[in-house]
Amino acid sequence: MPLLEISQLQKSFVAPDGARQRVIDVPAFTLDERAQVALSGESGSGKTTFLHLIAGILKPDSGCIRIGGREMSALPEPQRDRLRATSIGYIFQTFNLLQGYTCLENVLLGMSFGPGADRAFATALLKRVGLEQRLEHYPRQLSTGQQQRVAVARALANRPQLVLADEPTGNLDSANAREALALIRDGCRENGAALLLVSHDRDVLEKFEHVADLRQLNRAAAGAAGAPTEVRP
Amino acid sequence: MTLGLIVRRSLRQHALSTTVTAASIALACGLLLAVWVVKDQSHATFTGMTGGFDGVLGARGSKLQLVLNTLFHLEESPGNLPWNDYLDIKQNPNVEFALPIAVGDNYRGYRLAGTLPELFTAVEYRPGRHYSFRAGRAFEPTLREAVVGSFAADKLGLKPGDKFHPYHGLIYDEKSEHAETYVVVGVLEPSNTPADRVVWIPLEGLQKMSGHDPKAAADVSGVLVKLKAGAAAAGFRMDLMYNKQGTRLTFAWPVGRVMTQLFDKIGWFDRVLTLVAYLVALVATSSILASIYNSMNERRREIAILRALGARRDLIFSAIVLEAAAISALGVLAGFVVYALVMNAVAAIMRAQTGVVLDPFAWHPVMVLAPVAIIALGALAGVVPAVKAYRTDVAENLVPQS
């Protein structure tokens, strides 16, 4: 049964010259529960926008996004926030850890807006990613690889149904990238979450059994070799 | 819990601006409280400080000057009145008690006041409170003996058995020493009244001090008058007799109302001081707005991350308003320390200058109202940056800005 169902999804932005440019035009996309799918896409192919739309951070111009039977795209913003807080984990390329908070607090914040803070679970997650000795450390006191591991733990903190990962290894060296990717995939598996990961890194994509090409999915990207499609009235 | 954590961390992340802003709030709060309390306590103390008397009889002149001179031992005497006027008012059937006061000399800047020993036995300076002695006894009216008020004794280092020469005039000038030698026979317990700053000697001693005009040897500077209970109408009659029908004397009655005139006269100063305190509070709370607003650029990414984790816009709004209120609350807490320091300094100066004692720790509604108002104003100042935080575009700010 699909966890994520997308149909006729469109999103446009106003360019600096005033013209509306469509960056997302995805007729259909599905992701099953507990599935792990990688989306390949070059810079400018709209992959971050696509993930933001799925996470409810952005509202589509048209189309439907359904997560676990709930239509994210039709919800008002507070309910989209709530659905994101309870059902979605997000891993960013730049980690986006909160610098003024300890590792443990970062993970606790990952669950605070959804199921509620669970110190024991947050500690267990950090232990799972090998940071049990770094609970009270601040992100600036960690290596980049360790920071991404905190980000992985935070993404799993709200026991999500779906984890979205946006170029999660983009800022890591190859050893850390392999380690982080394994953690993400194992973490999702252990917690019963589906994973949708976007990357342009061939090494990463090769690890996945299911890889979809965003240029084929996204008609706006496919229009001009990855360039956004201009929308004409 | 989450809201509290976000606010605490934000305060810590912006520790310097938090400290500076809270310090300015502390200063404003401390000043506001001090201005208010000093204003109200001094008004209440000066208008309520009758020394146990209802009125003062003196030479023709200003009632305020007369009261300040004879009761508060401030200002110069408006002039003398003959002994017979004292006897006249003393024998008035509506007068319970009349006490003559003579001034004109000092000892090292502390006023000598000549009076009768009944001051220490018959006068209740507050209901049920007589002057009492910390050491020694009252002076004998015919001897060169002195009783020293507690504050003056402490400052002058006088104790029973000590001797001193008075100085002529109300201002200390070491060249104008009188030849007479006085012996301290008593030191009063603190009464928290202007009497604490006075060196009391027998009336006759001051009247007949060497160098004083022998023709005025029987004159007094003023007569403190206590009316019999229920003789309020007599006060009106005496007011009419001395002030309206007579032309030679002044009867300052009731003492409290005369002192109120003083506060009416300096009311503009009061209002200016209060206005300044309000403005300081306004500027200080505005600094909360400025400091948080100016930090919004660096906060945008953090807000976007929190929103991406599922924090709602209204939680972000609340966090900023709560942070502003927390800065105000920290300032208010420190404001009580500023208040205590300011009040102790003001109380010490006022006691040294007037003998009136202020109580910095006495309850006053402003102690609650001002902090609540400042915290509310601080929270209100947080609304502007909170609106900016509320409107933060999540997608745009999730990417690090170079």
Q: SS3 of A113, please?
A: coil
The phi and psi torsions of A36 (rounded to 5 degrees) equal -130, 110
Q: SS3 of B261, please?
A: helix
List the single residue in A97, A113, A158 with the smallest CB-CB distance to B311: A113
Q: Give me the domain span that covers residue A75.
A: 2-230
Confidence of residue A229 (pLDDT cuts 50, 70, 90): very low
Say yes or no for a CB contact (<8 Å) between A117 and B2.
yes
Contact B389, B296 (CB under 8 A): yes
**pLDDT (tens digit per residue) in B90-149:** 999 989 999 999 998 999 999 999 999 999 999 999 888 999 999 999 999 999 999 999
Based on the number of CB atoms within 10 Å of its own CB, is B48 exposed (0-12), middle (13-18) or buried (19 or more)? Answer: exposed
Say yes or no for a CB contact (<8 Å) between A117 and B398.
no
Check which CATH number belongs to the domain holding A89 and give it: 3.40.50.300
Which residues pair with residue A71 across a beta bridge? Answer: A66
**What is the spatial distance between Cα B141 and Cα B118, in angstroms, rounded to a whole number?**
10
How far is residue B314 from each of residues B34, B75, B318, measured CA to CA in Å? 38, 63, 6
How far is residue A178 from each of residues A25, A174, A185, B222, B253, measured CA to CA in Å? 32, 6, 11, 100, 96
Q: Give me the domain span that covers residue B296.
A: 2-46+265-397
Quick one: DSSP state of residue A227? B
Say yes or no for a CB contact (<8 Å) between A101 and B9.
yes
- Residue whose structure tokens are 């999702």: A188
**pLDDT (tens digit per residue) in B20-64:** 999 999 999 999 999 999 988 888 888 878 888 999 999 999 999
Lowest-pLDDT range of A225-229, B23-27, B59-63, B227-231: A225-229
**pLDDT (tens digit per residue) in B310-328:** 999 999 999 999 999 999 9
Res A230: pLDDT: 44
Residue B260 belongs to some domain of the structure: no
Nearest to B342 by CA among B40, B35, B46, B41: B35
For the cut 60, the answer to whether the pLDDT of residue A231 exceeds it is no
**What is the spatial distance between Cα A214 and Cα A46, in angstroms, rounded to a whole number?**
8
Q: Are residues B204 and B282 in the same domain?
A: no
The phi and psi torsions of B64 (rounded to 5 degrees) equal -65, -45
Say yes or no for a CB contact (<8 Å) between A109 and B2.
yes
Nearest to B194 by CA among B119, B107, B101, B125: B125
**What is the spatial distance between Cα B90 and Cα B80, in angstroms, rounded to a whole number?**
17
Confidence of residue B11 (pLDDT cuts 50, 70, 90): very high
By CA distance, what is A80's nearest residue in B? B310
**pLDDT (tens digit per residue) in A54-64:** 999 999 999 99
**pLDDT (tens digit per residue) in A201-220:** 999 999 999 999 988 899 88
**What is the spatial distance between Cα A144 and Cα A179, in angstroms, rounded to a whole number?**
12
Residue B1 at interface with chain A, using a CB cutoff of 8 Å: yes
Q: Are residues B298 and B387 in the same domain?
A: yes
B110-115/B199-202 β-pairing? parallel
Say yes or no for a CB contact (<8 Å) between A77 and B313.
yes
Q: Which of B253, B288, B316 is the last residue of a domain?
A: B253
User: If contacts are CB pairs under 8 Å, which of residues 81-100 in chain A contact chain B?
Assistant: 81-82, 84-86, 90, 92, 94, 96-100
Q: Are residues B180 and B74 in the same domain?
A: yes
Q: Are residues B41 and B104 in the same domain?
A: no
Res A223: pLDDT: 56
The phi and psi torsions of A172 (rounded to 5 degrees) equal -115, 155
Nearest to B390 by CA among B300, B266, B257, B258: B300
**B3, B5, B309: which to substitute to probe chain A, counting the most A Cβ within 10 Å?**
B309
Residue B117 belongs to some domain of the structure: yes
Q: Which of B253, B280, B306 is the last residue of a domain?
A: B253
Residue A152 has which token pair?
A: 């992985």
Lowest-pLDDT range of B59-73, B312-326, B348-362: B348-362
Cis peptide before A233 (omega within 30 of 0): no
Nearest to A230 by CA among A18, A19, A11, A16: A19
Q: Are residues B195 and B283 in the same domain?
A: no
Q: SS3 of B78, please?
A: coil
Q: Around Cβ B144, how many Cβ atoms within 10 Å?
A: 18
Domains in chain A, number: 1
Contact A114, A86 (CB under 8 A): yes
How many beta-carbon contacts under 8 Å exist across A and B? Answer: 73
Confidence of residue A147 (pLDDT cuts 50, 70, 90): very high
Q: Are residues B59 and B206 in the same domain?
A: yes
- Rounded to the nearest angstrom, the minimum Cα separation between A76 and chain B is 12
The phi and psi torsions of B280 (rounded to 5 degrees) equal -60, -45
By CA distance, what is B14's nearest residue in A? A100
Res B356: pLDDT: 81
Nearest to B32 by CA among B288, B382, B367, B381: B367
Confidence of residue B76 (pLDDT cuts 50, 70, 90): confident
Res B400: pLDDT: 61
Q: Which of B199, B229, B253 is the last residue of a domain?
A: B253
Extended strands (E) in B229-355:
249-252
Q: Are residues B35 and B59 in the same domain?
A: no
Contact B137, B186 (CB under 8 A): yes
Determine what percent of chain B is predicted with pLDDT higher than 70.
Answer: 99
Residue A70 has which token pair?
A: 């709930």
Domains in chain B, number: 2
The phi and psi torsions of A161 (rounded to 5 degrees) equal -85, -25
DSSP element (H, E) containing A174: helix A174-191
Nearest to A207 by CA among A168, A156, A150: A168
Say yes or no for a CB contact (<8 Å) between A113 and B395.
no
**pLDDT (tens digit per residue) in B259-283:** 888 888 888 888 898 898 889 888 9
Res A45: pLDDT: 82
Res A228: pLDDT: 44
Q: Around Cβ A42, how many Cβ atoms within 10 Å?
A: 12
**What is the spatial distance between Cα A53 and Cα A95, in angstroms, rounded to a whole number?**
19
The phi and psi torsions of A38 (rounded to 5 degrees) equal -105, 140
Q: Are residues B238 and B387 in the same domain?
A: no
Q: Around Cβ B104, how many Cβ atoms within 10 Å?
A: 22
